[in-house]
Structure 1
Amino acid sequence: MSPTKRLSPRKLQILALVAEGKTDRHIAILLGIGESTVKAYLHEVYTLLRVQNRAAAVYWYCHYLGLTAPIKE
Structure 2
Amino acid sequence: MAAVQLYTTNASPLIEGNGHSPLCRHAHERAVVAGDDLLTVADLMERTDFDWCSEGGGYAMRRLSDTQLS
TM norm structure 2: 0.30
Which structure has the highest strand share of the two? Answer: 2
Which structure has the highest helix share of the two? Answer: 1
TM norm structure 1: 0.30
